[in-house]
Chain A
Amino acid sequence: MSDGNHPGGTIGEALLARGISRRSLLKYTGYLASILALPPMASRAMADALAKAPRQSVIWLSFQECTGCTESLTRSFNPTLEDMIFDLISLDYHETLMAVSGAAAEEAMQAARAANKGKYVLVVDGSVSTAEGGIYSTNAGKTNLATLKDMASDAAAVLSVGTCAAFGGIPHAKPNPTGAVPVSEIVTDKPVINIPGCPPIPEAIAGTVAYIITFGKLPDLDHLSRPKAFFGDSIHDRCYRRPFYDKGLFAKSFDDEGARNGWCLYEVGCKGPVTYNACATLKWNGGVSFPIQSGHGCLGCSEPDFWDRGGFYKPLSASVMGNPAIIGGAAVAGIVAGAASVALARKRRAEALAAQSKASAAAQEKMP
């Protein structure tokens, strides 16, 4: 069942072989269009494009991480509509999920790499240790640093899943004994998409992969190389408690009248105003709730260095509020011409950081 162009067969052929109708695919693309903020009329064209596309080879590497990102993707899915992401991809290597281990697993990775050279998507969760040549985190006798450089060289694009891979995360927190860095500091010649979060929202992972397969290019990215469909709005902008902020009604502690009335959690340390993510709209655990709805402020886990930004229970400081690296611009990237476009995102990030330094210097000068 192959059209000749795709030796492994297309997604449409694979679904047909499993007795899954196009109706299911159309439902799934309707769901995708909604979470990706695409026009609903696009779902038919997306379904037709997906049916003709080959299953996307995905190689998943885990470095300095806690496996929470994998838990997020796999535990959230019931064998229903959302599960269809696993019909679109061929997860060719994932140490936690695959049955084989040891030398056989490494052979599987190399076989997948050879069969999909230049075409596979490399997913990385976890930061990369660089201190002492990266010896603090190794696997199969190789440092994560060496494995990343090696496997990224033949990838079409790299997805940094979770805040550790995207920004260094908790391993990168001071004093950072392992010299942890984000993937984007190591891979500079391939498109790198960041899907941060601790853990990231599963729909953001699945939706980004599905977008790449459907459209054959990367989604629109912000200045931190995050898909704008999921990271375009702040938690604060979409928070159902926002009207209380606008009215100046704040909880002062977690057991006062304001807390009981569901008022804004800004004064007990909520980082929602400077955190860009889709928690307030997509929510967690099948759409049940998200931290603010459960009575706790946002920790800001999808932003760089969230662990070192002062106390979680202290109100936002002016220095954090004014960080242009958080509030900056945007970039667009394509999977083919991705290197140039992602370079634009990197350039904008550098400009944002330079502006931040300039602003800090100016503030210092003004200080008595």
Chain B
Amino acid sequence: MSEESPRTGMAQSLLREIARALAALAETGACDAIDLRSLPLTGGDRADLETALGRGEVAATFDASGQSEVWETRHAGVWWVRHLGGDGRVAAETIEITPIPDILAAHPDDIRASAAALMAELAETTEETAHV
């Protein structure tokens, strides 16, 4: 993010939008998200936004069809979610205003599949042990 990159004031506008969404989350529990990729942000705007939001206590990286980075900003309930596509470029990037981003939680279908797989593994192990 070059410091010479021009500023359009977009970062300040986004911060106000995030503040309104965070207030709504606090009052009603309504979650929201802002798609950064669809906005005409300059490098300078993006750097300003990242600096203003800062980093909080939680950060996660994972590899699911490409690398992803998720971190909570210094404002509880405001998360920066970045998914990388091919060649390490940013494929999707959102600011999520939520207690926890959906992408971090295990999906019920995956949990069911894992439960069945673990049971099957244990059954196999038990059967092998019985043959010893």
To the question of whether A and B form a pair in one complex, the answer is: yes
Interface set of A (CB-CB < 8 Å, partner B): 12, 16, 20-24, 26-28, 30-31, 33-34, 37, 39-41, 43-44, 51, 77-84, 286-287
B122 interface contact, C-beta 8 A: no
Q: Is the CB of A81 within 8 A of B83?
A: yes
B85 CB contacts on chain A under 8 angstroms: 31, 78, 80-82, 286
Chain B residues whose CB sits within 8 angstroms of the CB of A80 once the complex forms: 65-66, 84-86
Bound: A292/B117 CA distance, A: 53
Looking at A26, A28, A41, the one whose CB has the most chain B CB atoms below 10 A away is A41
Quick check: A16 and B113 within 8 Å, CB to CB? yes
Does B34 touch A at the CB level, under 8 Å? yes
Contact B92 A27 (CB under 8 A): yes
Q: Is the CB of B35 within 8 A of A33?
A: yes
A16 in contact with B65 (CB, 8 Å): no
- State whether B38 touches A34 (Cβ < 8 A): yes
Q: Is the CB of A21 within 8 A of B83?
A: no
* B37 pairs with A34, CB closer than 8 A: yes
Number of residue pairs across A and B with beta carbons under 8 Å? 91
Decide yes or no whether B3 CB sits under 8 A from chain A.
Answer: no
Q: How far is the CB of A157 from chain B (nearest CB, A)?
A: 27
Give every chain A residue within 8 A of B103 (Cβ-Cβ).
23, 26-27, 30
Known: A30-B103, A33-B35, A82-B85. 7 other contacts (CB 8 A): A23-B110, A28-B65, A40-B94, A44-B102, A51-B109, A81-B83, A81-B84
Give residues 49-80 of B contacting A (CB, 8 Å). Answer: 62, 64-66, 68
Cα(A148)–Cα(B68), bound, Å: 43
Q: Can you give 12 contacting A-B residue pairs, CB < 8 Å?
A: A24-B64, A27-B83, A40-B34, A40-B35, A40-B96, A41-B31, A78-B85, A78-B87, A81-B83, A81-B84, A82-B91, A286-B87
- On chain B, the number of residues with a Cβ less than 8 Å from chain A's Cβ atoms is 30
Contact of B64 among A23, A44, A78, A83 (CB under 8 A): A23
Residue of B nearest to A42 (CB): B33
Smallest CB-CB separation from B83: which chain A residue? A27
Distance of A340 from chain B, by nearest CB (Å): 31
**A30→B107 contact, CB < 8 A:** no
Per the bound structure, the CA–CA distance linking A28 and B103 in Å amounts to 11
* Interchain CB contact under 8 A, B86 and A34: no
Residues of A within 8 A of B102 (CB): 26, 43-44
Query: Does B62 contact A23, Cβ atoms closer than 8 Å?
Result: yes
- In the complex, the answer to whether B89 meets A287 with C-beta atoms within 8 Å is yes
Q: A44-B102, A81-B91 are in contact. Are A20 and B86 (CB under 8 A)?
A: no
**Can you name the residue of chain A whose Cβ is closest to the Cβ of B89?**
A287
Which residue of chain B has its CB nearest to the CB of A31?
Answer: B92
Q: How far is the CB of A356 from chain B (nearest CB, A)?
A: 32
- Minimal beta-carbon separation of B51 from chain A (angstroms): 22
- Whether B124 sits at the interface, judged by CB under 8 Å, is no
B92 touches A78 (CB 8 A): no
Residues of B within 8 A of A16 (CB): 109-110, 113
Check if B86 sits within 8 Å of A77, measured CB to CB.
yes
> What separation, in Å, do the CA atoms of A23 and B113 have in the docked complex?
14
Residue of B nearest to A38 (CB): B35
Q: Is the CB of B109 within 8 A of A81?
A: no
B17 lies within 8 A of chain A by Cβ: no
| Nearest CB of chain A from residue B30's CB, rounded to whole Å | 10
The minimal Cβ–Cβ distance linking B55 to chain A, given in whole angstroms, is: 21
Q: How far is the CA of A81 from the CA of B65 in the complex (A)?
A: 5
Question: Nearest chain A CB to B81's CB is how many angstroms away?
Answer: 8
Known A16-B109, A22-B110, A23-B62: A31·B86 in contact at CB below 8 Å: no
Contact partners of A40 in chain B: CB under 8 A: 33-35, 94, 96
Contact of A31 among B62, B83, B87, B106 (CB under 8 A): B83
**Complex: A37 Cα to B66 Cα, angstroms:** 22
Q: In the complex, which residues of chain B have a beta carbon less than 8 angstroms from the beta carbon of A51?
A: 109
What is the bound-complex CA distance between A21 and B108, given in angstroms? 11
A34 vs B96: C-alpha distance when bound (angstroms)? 14
Q: How far is the CA of A40 from the CA of B94 in the complex (A)?
A: 8
> Are the C-beta atoms of B66 and A27 separated by less than 8 Å?
yes
Residue B121 interfacial (CB < 8 Å): no
Contact yes or no, B65 A83, CB < 8 A:
yes
Residue on A nearest B85 in the bound complex, by CB:
A81
Q: Contact between A84 and B113 (Cβ–Cβ < 8 Å)?
A: no
Q: Of B62, B84, B85, which is in contact with the most chain A CB atoms at under 10 Å from its CB?
A: B85
* Cross-interface CB contact of B68 among A27, A41, A79, A82, cutoff 8 Å: A27
Say which residue of B38, B62, B106 sits within 8 Å of A37 (CB atoms). B38
Give the distance in Å from the alpha carbon of A43 to the alpha carbon of B110 in the complex: 18
Alpha-carbon separation in the docked complex, A31 to B38 (Å): 11
State the Cβ distance, A120 to closest chain B Cβ, in Å: 26
